[in-house]
Structure 1
């Protein structure tokens, strides 16, 4: 019997495929064959090109492998080498030589020789080209993996995705195959990109525009994605990008009139008095575009600050908001695209946070196309100083997303790559990254001199033709166009720009169209007076009871922890027996009644499902299966019954351990969902400073900069209870310092009923403002922090709560305070039997209820000591804010900790001593200010 029968030459194609499978997914190969291939690999590593002894997988007999089969397997290794490392040897850099990598893909590095080039190998079957000579196989591999497009994907662990990619790459050898009309369309978009930048450079010399020159192929790339996405049925396109190329994109992709951009370049003021506006390369835009095939697609480019990559999570949140609201069963119909810079995507940590959210249940958006406009430089920083990774896109490997590196001077390759990316996204619902390798023609801005820091690179760039001219010459050489066609393109577009420029100079001022105005119909702008108006937040008692019933009954037939059963029973007892409702009941009743009223609710943050302090339990879990049940979603309101398909439910998600990215996401979600109560909760209020960029650039300033309303609610647990420097303060002072005119609401509630009405008020008004609430920790279970269901049903939000226990005539000291400190002060008053001190709670810190506070001061006419008391250090908390916004506060006696750099002491004993000392000073004005 032939001892080599198991390697019969007639079956070498099968063995080659099996070995290829082994190389990619070892565990998927039958164990005996896996051992065989392991033996072969071991033999190759230890015998050079000599004999290789392997174990027959059929009978275990040791045999020497024939050289013909060894060569066949070596060719498979070569193919695997191109798939894995071919991207390192591409022709993707338009202006300089690539770095050299070792080992190369030379055949000698795979145990093959030049003499094998004319030999035929069945391994060609793997590539779909059938049996082929080694030379033909290499030519094929070079075209697929080493031309103008380099592809990274072999780290992906899902065979179906890898096989899909390999099949697509082998079709047309990963080479563009556009017809004459498609090539002309690419040239037309390139001409628009090049001509627009050239026109601005001539008409607005030296002005900042962050030009796209060197990356103009971005414009035909985006155009192609939109056109093809519409054919896929995509209805909404949400895009985020920083400055470079933004004006070009606004004009040539989003249809913003060049006239408006020229008006902005001329520096004309805005027509609206209440609107400060922003620099032109930060502004957003929304429009409806009709594709070449006649389909309509809603396209949005989100406004962004100068903080690079900050817009990324906002775009994802907008996309998810649109998906949840309009396309819940077809989320692929909303397509997010984020355009990055190479230095930013490698350097900014928020990119990692966004990437980590890509497949999480509460944050996924069905796949994002990431395009990097790779200038090979930061402001002045060389890429070798900007990252440790080989590529700026290596972050994509975190989620095993494919990456395509493309030469930006080959526009057909660029379009081919982005269409590949779109197809992958639509097939698998996952992220794809495009590394568009080009250059930056000028400095960081057009007034900057780049030769100071990169003289050699910029000498090469100065001698380099632009992408349009390179492509036009190629099309002329192949007979697709002639000189007259190119001249017509240039003249027609330049004529249009000239007309727009002339029109712009007739305008005296400019206006800015609000971003995503289609989502905000029926909402009004609100000034401070409007924000101070009373709002009806009452609820029918029957409605309250219906919600209470839903959250106080566990489904039958399921096993729950004893503590969960007790918790749910306590809810029932609170509402239906004792009529003492705590903070958790206030939250759940607010959410439930809003659901009944036709709104929907989203909450996310670290551990929000249960709540950091185990108070909320919005989700309860079945003990033996961990099935998640949201009791609030058992409510059947009239809105849900009447409107088929309406998403009248509570969505609540534990977030990744991120503040910056998640706050940005939820802010974007609220931007796209004005009828959703969108809440982000910090694990402790102290941790909100991880999202400070979102707070400074979006939450506090977006309405002034971009006409953007946003109703995001931030819950920040705050209160001094001896837990140390990082578990005491939500940094109230920072939010209050950012407050101006009518940009947000800041509150520190002390009763469950007030929290209930505050949350309802957030949705019942016909405008939206960010709402920052400093929420309690110890008060969540404080026996005095309760409200009655009558206060829930018939009451309303109280901006200031007067002391209803005080005999006005007896009061000598009138103390204004806020939050948890109120209960500490009341406890001391009761201990000392003092009836000459009244405590007034300021529940809304901004807009500050000055009128109500002044009236309360007048009421206590016998009080000769008016106090502001706070548990925070004097340079923190609300005191400085009070001085700025309330004239009478300048004469207040202040009781607080002294000035500190740290919010609180780490020692429990020291905390208690300081805290008691502050309380002492409240009750005795003769005690010296706390040192």
Structure 2
């Protein structure tokens, strides 16, 4: 036998398959074969105009085993070229699809013409073994190309060849080869798709007629979203999904609420009529921002809980909240089983490309503390954002190119092809359930009207809207297709439309008899037994005491390392110090306040989640909630030893105390943790900023959810935010937690804001957060230098028997001697205390306001009445006059307008960059507190 017979045509199927493997995953091919194929590819170059050309194809290559020259036959060469063609369709076929319903696609070079792969028309009838790769068996080149066009260049274009895991690529290719990326629905399924399309089209037409000119952010041009979502829910329930959590902006939201989530059209009509709400405890929001929760029974008889989260006009913000809600449900109801809860986020094309939070959320997708087992992202692609053309809206080829960050597959689908849309989303669902990863659907449609129904889109897109004005809607396109197939007759759609419209007319008539709008429920199943309360309830004392024996058990757990493991000397010393603090010195610091608060809550049946940058040890190395074994870096969470077992969080256990170092994100992570707290009212959910003012990266979450959600959507939330705050000369960005911003957002009863100064008060504040039967966000300005300050200590009796004190009076002052009463908050108290001790001043009382909102007005007034001989009442703060709590005090305390103010002057920057300048200013403010003749210059 010829020693080179391994390259004979009889063996080309094997070599074609091997070459295909090499093209996709070069490193998976044996090195000698890799070198062999590299020799073949060396002849392929790219010309200046972008066309692939073959420069003298290499027919002589080195033998993969012995290195001797081998003459390749023409037939083998052509087999390899066909494989190269197949690879071209897989990698670039999505650029040549029929996915745009209203305009021509951009042109891309090189094309997939066979000439670009050194093949000719004369080869079209030649049978190639490369067809085996596609599951076709030996096939003519013409058959291979027809198959490739059906799979990669029809109504669905798929991007996946950048994925680096062979098992995922193989799965996708097998799926594509089996069904050629073409849907195969039976008659009943087709009628169901048509029914959902009719609901989408008819609903929008009805609103357009009955509420002319009113904003509704219609789905027209993207109606196939409705059968897509319907199909996902039906199939997901069959695959074991119990909970469905969705977030979307306003476009198409009303149709989704009615036709997917089962919200009564009557309620939506009532909202269009602008009627007030039945309940006075909240102000409500516009109709296309509201959330909804319902239980749906699928066609196969499965029950699935479906939720659509309320959203603000900051379009992509809700995505982070959805992920947090999903993770909360997975952790608490399904023992971390990600397949039980499915998150879906519906994006706009301009928003997914332009909003940075999308990237933050995508980067969270596979992180231990934030993963939800894969999200289905659906982009309702209008090809325009407000008035901005897509070419001005992004630099990337596709709006979905952020998907490539996590190597997620993307399916681009023509929104006019309803079957292709449903087929694509079911493919996406299968991928998510199989691999636990994100998948993106780019639903290419259009927007029939302007940004809202009062806009004139022709001002900015005259050509596009000329085409749209004569374009048929997806229902009519699909009904024609079904008529041609003989599935329906001419009267079928008319009957569907008439029946649905009659139902809407009935709902409209009923809505006009309603005097007020009913409250829209969202996740009420999670919030049974929790009250909505006003400020008076928030100011009531709460029993946060704990049995000393329980406190001791927790202290023992957090102050004892496993004896069979080796730890760093500093860690051993730190943990031993905890034991000494509690069991010998009875002098507990800030870290013990935190750990004992968490541990005692765990003992009482609550659970704790903490996340943020470097929270496991704490930015200032005080917490050490996680300690690492020196030689293996095994992570030990001592708080999870309370039940007698050590939990390894890396194994996805369901420990009651979970702590996660976050990615370097504020906006996305705060949104996630807010969503987690929304789904987990019995979890003390904490987000900690690395420094307090870093939270400004999450300002949209703070403005739109944390401060306003109860007013807008009747949503309670117990998220705790730790914001390190205090002036220690570290510069402008490491001093202020910008408390003035939070205080300016405070109103009535929307949140707690505290700036506590003792470990005991911190302990009781955290416990109070869970011991009440309501939930409010809690903002705590936490210390930095005070974490190890010798005077910032409390006794274990104060922990066990005390309670949270919103105001701390000066217990050392002799009331009759006091001439000056100084109100302050936070770390500045200890600076003033040190100065008072140095000066020996016993005529000045230092009073700490520990809770800034709701402001303890009664206690403040009692203090003022107590010090009758005082003729100098001072508000002292280390922040500039236009920052800190002073303006808040003026708004909420009548007496404050008569206070003398000691503070830095007005500044644009929170603090000086120079430590020398900082010290001068700081000392000047302190001196002015004790001597009213000294004024800080303005």
Q: TM-score range with shorter-chain normalisation?
A: over 0.9
Is residue 755 from structure 1 mapped to residue 762 from structure 2 by the alignment?
yes
Deviations 1:860-903 (A, max 9, x none): 00000000000000000000000000001010000000000000
Deviations 1:725-759 (A, max 9, x none): 00000000000000000000000000000000000
Deviation at 1:275, TM superposition (A): 1.2
Deviations 1:512-571 (A, max 9, x none): 133100000010011000000000000000001000000000001111000000000000
Deviation at 1:647, TM superposition (A): 4.8
State how far apart, in whole Å, the 1-side matches of 2:44 and 2:556 are: 71
Deviation at 1:273, TM superposition (A): 1.5
Is residue 885 from structure 1 mapped to residue 874 from structure 2 by the alignment?
no
Q: Which residue of 1 aligns with 2:282?
A: 275
State how far apart, in whole Å, the 1-side matches of 2:302 and 2:672 are: 29
Q: Could you tell which deviates more after superposition, 3-12 or 896-905? A: 3-12
Q: Which residue of 2 aligns with 1:520?
A: 527
Q: Secondary structure at the match of 2:391?
A: helix
Whether the aligned pair in 1 keeps the contact of 2:692 and 2:734 (CA below 8 Å) is: yes
Whether the aligned pair in 1 keeps the contact of 2:354 and 2:394 (CA below 8 Å) is: yes
Spell out the pairing of 1:28-67 with structure 2 (5 A cutoff): 28-45=28-45, 48-67=55-74
State how far apart, in whole Å, the 2-side matches of 1:514 and 1:811 are: 55
State how far apart, in whole Å, the 2-side matches of 1:392 and 1:50 are: 38
Deviations 1:818-877 (A, max 9, x none): 000000000000000110000000000000000000001100000000000000000000
Q: Which residue of 1 aligns with 2:203?
A: 196
TM-score by length of 1: 0.99
Spell out the pairing of 1:13-28 with structure 2 (5 A cutoff): 13-28=13-28
State how far apart, in whole Å, the 2-side matches of 1:294 and 1:586 are: 51
State how far apart, in whole Å, the 2-side matches of 1:443 and 1:550 are: 62
State how far apart, in whole Å, the 2-side matches of 1:172 and 1:728 are: 61
Whether the aligned pair in 2 keeps the contact of 1:550 and 1:631 (CA below 8 Å) is: yes
Q: Which residue of 2 aligns with 1:768?
A: 775
Whether the aligned pair in 2 keeps the contact of 1:43 and 1:53 (CA below 8 Å) is: no
Deviations 1:892-916 (A, max 9, x none): 0000000000000000000000000
State how far apart, in whole Å, the 2-side matches of 1:243 and 1:521 are: 28
Q: Which residue of 2 aligns with 1:403?
A: 410
State how far apart, in whole Å, the 1-side matches of 2:43 and 2:676 are: 57
Q: Which residue of 1 aligns with 2:803?
A: 796
State how far apart, in whole Å, the 2-side matches of 1:316 and 1:47 are: 49
Deviation at 1:667, TM superposition (A): 0.1
Whether the aligned pair in 2 keeps the contact of 1:749 and 1:843 (CA below 8 Å) is: yes
Deviations 1:785-844 (A, max 9, x none): 000000000000000000000000000000000000000000000000110000000000
Whether the aligned pair in 2 keeps the contact of 1:270 and 1:510 (CA below 8 Å) is: yes
Q: Which residue of 2 aligns with 1:376?
A: 383
Q: Which residue of 1 aligns with 2:465?
A: 458
Q: Which residue of 2 aligns with 1:234?
A: 241
State how far apart, in whole Å, the 2-side matches of 1:735 and 1:827 are: 29
User: RMSD across aligned C-alpha pairs, in angstroms?
Assistant: 1.2
Deviations 1:636-672 (A, max 9, x none): 299x9xxxx9956210000000000000000000000
Spell out the pairing of 1:413-812 with structure 2 (5 A cutoff): 413-636=420-643, 647=654, 649-812=656-819
State how far apart, in whole Å, the 1-side matches of 2:480 and 2:181 are: 23
Whether the aligned pair in 1 keeps the contact of 2:40 and 2:58 (CA below 8 Å) is: no
Whether the aligned pair in 2 keeps the contact of 1:49 and 1:111 (CA below 8 Å) is: no
Deviations 1:211-237 (A, max 9, x none): 000000000000000000000010000
Spell out the pairing of 1:327-342 with structure 2 (5 A cutoff): 327-342=334-349
Distance 1:521 1:637, change over 3 A: farther
State how far apart, in whole Å, the 2-side matches of 1:255 and 1:912 are: 63
State how far apart, in whole Å, the 1-side matches of 2:35 and 2:439 are: 35
Whether the aligned pair in 2 keeps the contact of 1:43 and 1:52 (CA below 8 Å) is: no
Whether the aligned pair in 1 keeps the contact of 2:347 and 2:379 (CA below 8 Å) is: yes
Deviation at 1:269, TM superposition (A): 0.7
Distance 1:122 1:623, change over 3 A: same
Q: Secondary structure at the match of 1:726?
A: helix
State how far apart, in whole Å, the 1-side matches of 2:23 and 2:614 are: 41
Whether the aligned pair in 2 keeps the contact of 1:598 and 1:648 (CA below 8 Å) is: no
Q: Which residue of 1 aligns with 2:12?
A: 12
Deviation at 1:51, TM superposition (A): 4.6
State how far apart, in whole Å, the 1-side matches of 2:840 and 2:262 are: 72
Is residue 303 from structure 1 mapped to residue 310 from structure 2 by the alignment?
yes
Distance 1:329 1:839, change over 3 A: closer
Deviation at 1:621, TM superposition (A): 0.2
Whether the aligned pair in 2 keeps the contact of 1:595 and 1:637 (CA below 8 Å) is: no
Deviations 1:383-422 (A, max 9, x none): 0000000000000000000000000000000000000000
Q: Which residue of 1 aligns with 2:91?
A: 84
State how far apart, in whole Å, the 1-side matches of 2:441 and 2:496 are: 28
Q: Could you tell which deviates more after superposition, 818-827 or 111-120? A: 111-120
Q: Which residue of 2 aligns with 1:862?
A: 869
Aligned pair partner of 1:928 in 927, 930, 935: 935
Spell out the pairing of 1:344-363 with structure 2 (5 A cutoff): 344-363=351-370
Q: Which residue of 2 aligns with 1:2?
A: 2
Aligned pair partner of 1:219 in 226, 229, 239: 226
Q: Which residue of 1 aligns with 2:116?
A: 109
Deviations 1:225-276 (A, max 9, x none): 0000000010000000000000000000000000000000000011111210
State how far apart, in whole Å, the 2-side matches of 1:611 and 1:768 are: 26
Q: Could you tell which deviates more after superposition, 551-560 or 46-55? A: 46-55
Distance 1:646 1:141, change over 3 A: closer
State how far apart, in whole Å, the 2-side matches of 1:517 and 1:486 are: 38
Alignment gaps of 5+ in structure 1: none
Deviation at 1:50, TM superposition (A): 4.4
Deviation at 1:6, TM superposition (A): 2.2
Q: Secondary structure at the match of 1:823?
A: helix
Whether the aligned pair in 2 keeps the contact of 1:538 and 1:795 (CA below 8 Å) is: yes
Q: Secondary structure at the match of 2:285?
A: coil
Q: Which residue of 2 aligns with 1:249?
A: 256
Deviation at 1:308, TM superposition (A): 1.0
Whether the aligned pair in 2 keeps the contact of 1:918 and 1:930 (CA below 8 Å) is: no
Distance 1:76 1:877, change over 3 A: same
Aligned pair partner of 1:317 in 304, 314, 324: 324
Q: Which residue of 1 aligns with 2:296?
A: 289
Q: Which residue of 1 aligns with 2:48?
A: none
State how far apart, in whole Å, the 2-side matches of 1:665 and 1:380 are: 31
State how far apart, in whole Å, the 2-side matches of 1:250 and 1:152 are: 31
Deviation at 1:329, TM superposition (A): 4.5
Deviation at 1:711, TM superposition (A): 0.1
Q: Secondary structure at the match of 2:579?
A: helix
